[in-house]
Structure 1
Amino acid sequence: MNFTNNYEVALNGIKANKMRSSLTMLGIIIGVAAVIIMISVGQGASKRISDQISSMGSNLLMIYSGSSGGPMRGASGSVNSLTLDDAEAIGELDQVANSVPELSTSGNVQYGNQTWTSTVDGTTPEMQEIKQWTLSSGSYFSDEDVTNVSMVAVIGSTVAENLFSSGTDPVGQSITINKLTFKVVGVLNSKGAAMMGQDQDDIIYVPITTVQLRMVGSKYVRTINVQAASENSMSYVQSNVEELLRQRHRISDTEEDDFNVRNLTSVLEAMETATGTMTMLLASVAAVSLLVGGIGIMNIMLVSVTERTREIGLRMAVGATESNILNQFLVESLVLCLAGGVLGILTGVVGAKLISKFAGWNTYITMYSILLSAGFSAVIGVFFGYYPAKKAAGLDPIEALRFEK
């Protein structure tokens, strides 16, 4: 008996007990769907973290004023140690593509009768390259604006939406920030939320010298963003930066650094490892339901063998071999699992999309999760179907013909 005949016999057996077969497949359907949904949730979280860190810049080191427990960007810290000269010196190091200082403050922004509170970030034109910002209109300010302490501003889309009415082009308009008048020279395209949930579009970029001299009154900067020439040179650049700053700040070997260097690539790797572990944990929990479904398959197949004992004896009496009987019941088990697997895949894909839509969770469905679930369901069909099939193949034909239900 070839595979086609075994398939036809298996299909007829399933059709003869539709309700029982449907309930048997339900365990596989739920298990496969659960695995796909759990993996998609984990992959979605990982992708979101990766995208958010990437949106901060590629191959990026961030140097903060203060020691390793120092203040984050925009926060008020007790130690001011970084200067524009430090940023320029770092920019001359080998394998450094860009070195961009930042100094942020809070700003009360007004245009006409509209007011808004936003972050005002003093920086240099190279920030656009590091952050990979694109402009919806206008242009970024220039190095000349930094030198001349110009009163110009590039605003994020959130600021533009809250200050200007629909149809009004902000470029060329004058706004006041903390009672100082600035000319809007550009509007940034939206980038969405940052890694910690901050709105990256609720920001105003101005020349760093303007923030230092006219808004804050400080010669220091809070952060220096250092972009390495390549990902492979990150460790090399970080080591050189730390050595340079210790020399410039006259820090001895026994003293603690007055700066803190953070490698975003390392942060990304750590977070991806954490989300990968979470994904595997979720998938493992979901896989338990697949095992339960496999046990259900074994149970039903044992019942089927008992019910069809006379049929098995008759097949053997007319020439069916043990291999034929074994293959027949294995194929039936495999058909049940694969049918449940296909329905489970469809349910899982739809379920993941519904979770993304209604729960607001990021889900990311990969071919890996689909193939894994389909392969797992096939393995379960063979594994849990083998014992009942072996039992059927081992029946004595004479005893089987004598069997009565």
Structure 2
Amino acid sequence: MIATLFGQAWHAMGANKLRTFLTMLGMVIGVFAVVLMMAIGQGAQETVKASIESMGSNMFIALSGSTTAGGVRMGGGAAPTLTVADADAIAELPGVQTVAPIHPGTVQVVYGSNNWGTAAYGTTPSYLDIRNWTVAEGFPFTDSDLRSATRVALLGQTVVNNLFGDEDPIGKTIRVRNNPFVVVGVLGVKGQSLDGRDQDDTILMPLTTAQRKVFGTQFQGSVRLINIQATSAEVMPAVEKSINLLLHQRHRIREGQDDDFSVRNLTAMANSAAETARIMSLLLGAIASVSLLVGGIGIMNIMLVSVTERTREIGIRMAIGARERDILLQFLMEAVIISIVGCFIGLLLGIGAALIVNKLFDIAVIISGSSVLTAFGVAAAVGIFFGFYPAKKAARLDPIEALRYQ
């Protein structure tokens, strides 16, 4: 029976190919838009997710304070108000998993005839754990290097590409502000951060080496910032409060005085960016879904016209024994075929367009099975929903009146 209904529906649609094509076009455009927008939206979500994961989880950053010189107030981190001792004290707080003091700066790195300007971070081995950063080649520096202020360095992939090209950097000697450093490892690729900064354009070295031999410090043990990782997301509010109280006590900051430090919740900032990306993805999908609605209305309009034009045919079918259900299924089958074929074509065009966007504009796109099934299911549902009323109208025609229709 289904095969017969399918054959009848296909023959009826073939009788007016242009009308069928134009009706189907609404579904093609609708599904095309939904698939493309969902691919772009999910790609944006994954890009933000990858950036968040590259930062590390459950993270705070404590920044040293600002300075004022000649009436000019410098930004946060300008004054050496944080110390390694502060970091050690924070590490003892409940809910704190790992702490890494950092002394950053910019340097010009030289290897042979090549040189490259990059960001250098003097830090401790725990920095790699906080940032979830692997060493792709070689090995990380150790606590022994930290105690001895050894001139060793870990290079980001961007620095390696610009200094060494295809040459293996492990064991080679580079010069950082005229200090020879041995490259002991190459960091795994991180990519861009949420603010667009290239995280692979960096050098890591022992904190003591940076303090004593590269950047210098105004007093022993001072650092510009401290990375702090909490044990879980649930304890982060309590940990943030504890950090502020501890630093107030250690820096002898009385009530009413300005803080000489600031604590920022990087996870909250990252989650805000992730939520923005999620909302954008939903908005793109909702806007594209309007096209499906328009396509469904087009199907209903054309089917209503078809019912009117084929009133006499319906009367003849009923006169020779066709039941109300048979007429209903015939017209409903036509609507579903238009929907599903249009959906299939729209899927192919949407997937192709997403791949083209990825190639031409270097925009991350993700074509997931769930988005494809969702678009296909919604399109089929739209065809059934908007095709049901015309089919029901055709099925309820009075046979005698239908036969008289001219």
**TM-score with structure 1 setting the length:** 0.92
Partner of 1:380: 382
Partner of 2:223: 221
CA contact (8 A) 2:65 2:76 kept: no
C-alpha distance in 1, partners of 2:62/2:48? 21
C-alpha distance in 2, partners of 1:236/1:10? 67
Larger displacement relative to structure 2 (288-297 or 46-55) = 288-297
C-alpha distance in 2, partners of 1:92/1:77? 23
Larger displacement relative to structure 2 (356-365 or 387-396) = 387-396
| 1:326, distance to aligned residue in structure 2 (A) | 2.1
Partner of 1:139: 139
Unaligned stretches of 5+ residues in structure 2: 67-74
CA contact (8 A) 1:53 1:264 kept: no
Partner of 1:398: 400
CA contact (8 A) 1:149 1:207 kept: yes
Partner of 2:317: 315
Larger displacement relative to structure 2 (230-239 or 284-293) = 230-239
SS of 1:349's partner is: helix
Partner of 1:185: 184
Q: Summarize the alignment of residues 34-183 of structure 1 with structure 2, pairs less than 5 Å apart.
A: 34-66=33-65, 77-166=77-166, 168-183=167-182
Q: Summarize the alignment of residues 328-367 of structure 1 with structure 2, pairs less than 5 Å apart.
A: 328-367=330-369
| 1:99, distance to aligned residue in structure 2 (A) | 0.2
Larger displacement relative to structure 2 (96-105 or 182-191) = 182-191
SS of 1:252's partner is: coil
SS of 1:362's partner is: coil
Q: Summarize the alignment of residues 211-360 of structure 1 with structure 2, pairs less than 5 Å apart.
A: 211-218=210-217, 219-360=221-362
Matching residue's letter, 2:261:
F
Partner of 1:70: none
Matching residue's letter, 1:126:
S
SS of 1:232's partner is: coil
Say if 1:58 and 1:77 are closer, same or farther in 2 by CA, change over 3 A: closer
SS of 1:231's partner is: coil
> Can you list the C-alpha shifts for 1:141-175, whole angstroms capped at 9, x where unaligned?
11121112221111112212221242x33222221
Partner of 2:6: 7
CA contact (8 A) 2:63 2:76 kept: no
CA contact (8 A) 2:78 2:224 kept: no
Matching residue's letter, 1:142:
T
| 1:45, distance to aligned residue in structure 2 (A) | 0.9
Say if 1:313 and 1:335 are closer, same or farther in 2 by CA, change over 3 A: same
Say if 1:59 and 1:317 are closer, same or farther in 2 by CA, change over 3 A: same
C-alpha distance in 1, partners of 2:272/2:5? 51
Unaligned stretches of 5+ residues in structure 1: 68-74
| 1:4, distance to aligned residue in structure 2 (A) | 4.4
Identical residues among aligned pairs (%)? 46
Say if 1:7 and 1:165 are closer, same or farther in 2 by CA, change over 3 A: closer
Partner of 1:71: none
SS of 1:262's partner is: strand
Matching residue's letter, 2:59:
L
Matching residue's letter, 1:347:
L
Say if 1:244 and 1:26 are closer, same or farther in 2 by CA, change over 3 A: same
SS of 2:259's partner is: coil
C-alpha distance in 2, partners of 1:330/1:252? 78
> Can you list the C-alpha shifts for 1:275-333, whole angstroms capped at 9, x where unaligned?
12212221222122212211211121122112211110011112223333222212211
C-alpha distance in 1, partners of 2:379/2:395? 23
Partner of 2:71: none
Q: Count matched residues.
A: 395
Say if 1:239 and 1:319 are closer, same or farther in 2 by CA, change over 3 A: same
Larger displacement relative to structure 2 (22-31 or 367-376) = 367-376
Matching residue's letter, 1:8:
G
SS of 1:300's partner is: helix
C-alpha distance in 2, partners of 1:333/1:203? 60
C-alpha distance in 1, partners of 2:370/2:332? 26
SS of 1:44's partner is: helix
**TM-score with structure 2 setting the length:** 0.91
| 1:366, distance to aligned residue in structure 2 (A) | 2.5
CA contact (8 A) 2:174 2:183 kept: yes
